[in-house]
DNA sequence: GAATAAAGTTAACCATGCTTAATATCCGGT
DNA sequence: ACCGGATATTAAGCATGGTTAACTTTATTC
């Protein structure tokens, strides 16, 4: 197991470079949802008009108009005034990808991490447009494999479930392969677990 | 394994509610980095001043001043004009939590998903402030357990590595427990895998 | 104990992504 | 053919998170 603690060091230099890339991602969170709304409407009723999108997303029609201008400028939709909205090929690809991402992440959160459904939906929705394709394909592989009927996967599921149950009790246990030297997860990674279960702060 | 395809349906109604919560998360991406910068500077040199933060984050000093106003208004830092910046208890907790999140996610991406380091750093950084505590604790448990020397975990690591290697070849294989009826992942989840490996679009 | 350099703040501006209110366009009924 | 209602757009405003330029405060040096 890689050393957790060592990596807990403060934000390194490169972090700044990455941080600044947040705002020039291909898609903002809003844009991703507009694209998905257009794709969904197209599928549901054959066409997407400004009012439909506004209803679906719960925003004003003027908001839709201005967002369509942005998406148009990026070549993701076409939209002549007072007409229907169409996805371009690039727009369609991005919409599909974002949906796939949310879908895979939701599966991962519910069936592997086993968090409550609402939590899974929320977390998946928040990050669906931010996780890169390399990681996404691996999320899919991991989810598919853990859920498969490969004997190693089946055994793993059982063992992991037992471990979680044990670990939730937070009792140090020399028998547990994750608890090192009788220190359970919470003590093995001091200051790490504790940061998670304080709940929302405000 | 839960049915993937069924969940691939279009964005359901509740998605809108979740989407709109994006902008009232506890922390924005920027705020998270300011808090971490303050915490880091405090640790590295004992105090955090406006110029230090500006240098560290590569933003202008006036930008720092105005962000400190926001953070101050939220009760996450204290800062009297021309003085040093201090984290409040709430600010410190959020900084610690965000760092833990990035840390656990980076571990997960590198040691479990095994994506390249830069990808892991980038993806972890993008979502560190967006994943809820329930999911984070489960990410930690999963990462710790898969990396442990529990026999089920060891066997799983091997099997998963083999599966990935096999799957990367994209050959349908009746022997593979993930490939259903001789259809490999790519065909079992049509339109899903394909969306991932087209690379960045623009 | 000034003069000046360094550090910090304010002011004015820009882009994004929303809002409401007012205006413009399109379309069906008479 | 034209009028009203539905639909869509523009205009103006707001909050966030940045920028540069100008100004103020603090610190240092002689």
- A134 inside domain: no
pLDDT at A16: 82
Q: What is the CA radius of gyration of chain B?
A: 22
Q: Which of B140, B192, B201 is closest, CB to CB, to A193? A: B140
Does residue A68 lie within any of the structural domains? yes
- Shortest Cα distance from B55 to chain A (angstroms)? 10
Q: Each residue of A37-95: pLDDT tens digit?
A: 999 999 999 999 999 999 999 999 999 999 999 999 999 999 999 999 999 999 999 99
By the 8 A CB rule, do B91 and B37 touch? Answer: no
State, as a whole number of angstroms, the distance between the CA of A32 and the C1' of C16.
15
φ and ψ at residue B137, rounded to 5 degrees: -65, -35
Nearest to B97 by CA among B129, B143, B138: B129
Q: Under an 8 A CB cutoff, do B110 and A2 touch?
A: yes
Does the residue B125 lie in any domain? no
Taking only the tens place, the pLDDT of each residue in B82-130 is 999 999 999 999 999 999 999 999 999 999 999 999 999 999 999 999 9
Distance A81 CA to C23 C1' (A): 15
Under an 8 A CB cutoff, do B196 and A140 touch?
Answer: yes
Q: Is residue A138 part of a domain?
A: no
Question: What is the SS3 assignment for A122?
Answer: helix
- Whether the CB of A162 is below 8 Å from some CB of chain B: the reply is no
Classify residue A87: in a domain, yes or no: yes
pTM: 0.87
CB atoms within 10 A of CB A154: 16
Residue B158 has pLDDT above 60, yes or no: yes
CB of residue B82 closer than 7 A to nucleic acid strand C? yes
Closest to B103 (Cβ–Cβ): which among A8, A30, A127?
A8
Last residue of a domain, one of B63, B93, B123: B93
Check which CATH number belongs to the domain holding B34 and give it.
Answer: 1.10.10.10
B58 pLDDT above the threshold of 90: yes
Chain B contact for A81 (CB, 8 A cutoff): no
CB B138 within 8 A of CB A115: yes
User: How confident is the prediction for chain B on average, in pLDDT?
Assistant: 84
On whether any CB of chain A is under 8 Å from the CB of B114, the answer is yes
Please report the pLDDT score of residue B8 as a whole number.
42
**Could you tell me if A57 and B16 are in contact, meaning their C-beta atoms sit under 8 angstroms apart?**
yes
Domain hosting B155: range is 149-195
CA distance A125 to A27: 14
Query: What is the rounded (10 degree) CA torsion for B22, B124, A15, A201?
Result: 50
Token look-up 């809820």 returns: B132
Domains contained in chain A, number = 2
Looking at CA atoms only, how far is residue B127 from chain A in angstroms? 6
Give the distance, in angstroms, between residue A68 CA and nucleotide C24 C1': 18
Q: How far apart are CA B108 and CA B147, in angstroms?
A: 10
User: Pick from A54, A73, A93: which residue ends a domain?
Assistant: A93
């Amino acid at each position: 197991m890689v050393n957790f603690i060592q990596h807990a060091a403060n934000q390194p230099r490169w972090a700044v470079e990455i941080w600044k890339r947040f705002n020039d991602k291909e898609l903002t969170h809003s844009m991703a949802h507009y694209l998905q709304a257009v794709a969904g409407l197209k599928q549901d009723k054959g066409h997407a008009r400004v009012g439909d999108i506004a209803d679906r997303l719960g925003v004003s029609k003027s908001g839709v108009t201005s967002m369509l201008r942005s998406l148009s400028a990026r070549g993701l939709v076409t939209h002549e005034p007072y007409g229907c909205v169409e996805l371009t090929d690039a727009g369609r690809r991005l919409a599909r990808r974002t949906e796939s991402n949310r879908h895979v992440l939701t599966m991962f959160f519910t069936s592997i991490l086993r968090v409550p459904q609402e939590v899974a939906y929320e977390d998946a929705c928040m990050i669906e447009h931010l996780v890169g394709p390399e990681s996404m394909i691996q999320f899919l592989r991991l989810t598919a494999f853990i859920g498969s009927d490969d004997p190693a996967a089946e055994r793993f599921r059982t063992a992991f479930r037992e471990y979680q149950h044990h670990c939730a009790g937070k009792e140090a246990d020399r028998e547990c392969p994750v608890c090192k030297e009788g220190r359970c997860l919470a003590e093995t990674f001091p200051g790490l677990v504790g940061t998670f279960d304080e709940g929302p702060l405000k």
